[in-house]
Amino acid sequence: MSARVLAPFAALLLLGAAPAPPRVTVPGGTVEGASVEDGALVFQGIPYAAPPLAQLRWTAPQPVRAWQGVRPAKVRAPACPQNDDGWNRTDAAHYSEDCLTLDIRTPGLRGKRPVMVWIHGGSNRAGSAGGMVASRITREGVVLVAIQYRLGVLGFLAPRQAAVNGTAGNYGLMDQIAALRWVRANIARFGGDPDQVTLFGESAGSQDVSLMLAAPDARDLFKRAILQSGTPGFGQPFRPLRDAFAIADQAERLAGGQGLAGLRGAPVKQLLKIDTKLSDPSLHTNGFLWLKTTIDGRVLPESPRRLLAKAPRKPVIIGTNRAEFGPKDGATDITETLQRVYGPRAAEAQRLYAFGTPGRDPRLGHPALEIETDWVFRCPAITLATQLVRQGWPVWSYEFDLAPDGGLTSHAIEIPYVMDARPIGDGASLQDYWVNFALRGDPNGGALPRWPAFSADARRYLAITPKGVEAAEKLRTEICALRNEI
């Protein structure tokens, strides 16, 4: 067959060929992502720092190491090391210390779109970025980034011998700051605007977002923040560095008593076992071990409350779920719990809770669940919102009270409503509000039900309930007045 006859067939073959996979040059080399079903481009497992191995354990994140050739970025990257707590089984089965990576989903490599950076939850001891870039939130005109950071004993232990200028700990927070620096320097190559970055996260991720608001080194790296069920301290006092050192001393003894060298030489599985044996006598449960914020002297040179008082004002969304988590019904002594939480004001708290009286809202759950949601989540969020608006920050507050089966809410139940745009009633979704906020610094827009800004007096918030979406005010005013922790 002649070349003249073959030419049309060759042209047809070229027209039908799949487009080349997207490639982007970043610090370290070139990464190759994938095109997905809605036309978006996804890159997974891009390194933003060197693997924190051996002598780099318990040090600040170091620059990315260069690689040869094109690095595939098409599959889910390993999580950071963590124990299996059940809910995180996939991450616990697929982890690596070489985990300081981030994932990106973008509508295209050209353009200048607002960026939303997700920090995952998991008590700062579990979880990953894995799977978040499956969200189609990018159809709304934003670039989505999900970051990973060192967890548990590897991310938040404070060994004395690792101290630099007398400071140690919070390496997971240092990782987050390094990731935000990477985003600022490189996101334009993925169609993002480095000057329009919104941080958002849930639970420990929300706590970490709030700590990024406070941390001096992070202040210029993002413009807005969304806090979903997490505050700087989860209602607990902050941990002084001397107490963090004492926890690290426990770890060194459990590793064989060879100090920092012993910890750095220990297999990661041994460190994960050690993590389960560490304790903080100030906590009622060691599940909060890495949620008690350490004032390390470097990332957090003083308490978050004081740092926030000096921080530049940013628009913030702060909210919680109607029922978060707590002990099983009947598993705790309510009188003892009230005494532990409210101290000398326990009797006043008991009167306000009025357990067993007619008219109590069943959607608050059983008494222990109601108390823990107030103590750990709801009241700290209200206290933080009040502090920020008194300092002139634009703040919007919400309470989420929906569940797919019509039952009580629970911790993290709002995430699919954000990432998958599940409807919340009245033609709205949380995703709509979140994207509006990322685009303009205000969640309102279009035909969405009006969300009034929070104020220190009226304390207006958005109530998202089975009946719909509406503005409300003065959520839990009396009971939350009994505590002042953030």
**Other CB atoms within 10 Å distance of the CB of residue 5:** 8
- Catalytic residue, chosen from 140, 324, 370, 485, is 324
Pairing of strands 460-465, 395-400: parallel
The Cα–Cα gap between 462 and 105 comes to: 29
Of 453, 460, 210, give the one whose Cα is nearest residue 311. Answer: 210
222-246: burial string, b at 16+ Cβ within 10 Å, e else: bbbbbbbbbbbbbbbebbebebbbe
Residues 6+ apart with CB under 8 A from 414: 202, 228, 229, 321, 400, 402, 430
Report residue 138: phi and psi, to 5°: -65, -15
**Other CB atoms within 10 Å distance of the CB of residue 1:** 6
- Catalytic residue, chosen from 128, 411, 429, 485, is 411
Asked if residues 311 and 220 have their Cβ atoms less than 8 Å apart, the reply is no
324 is a catalytic site residue? yes
229 is a catalytic site residue? no
Q: Two tokens at 201?
A: 């996260």
The Cα–Cα gap between 377 and 228 comes to: 10
Asked if residues 484 and 305 have their Cβ atoms less than 8 Å apart, the reply is no
- Catalytic residue, chosen from 135, 203, 397, 429, is 203
32 is a catalytic site residue? no
Give catalytic residue positions.
Answer: 203, 324, 411
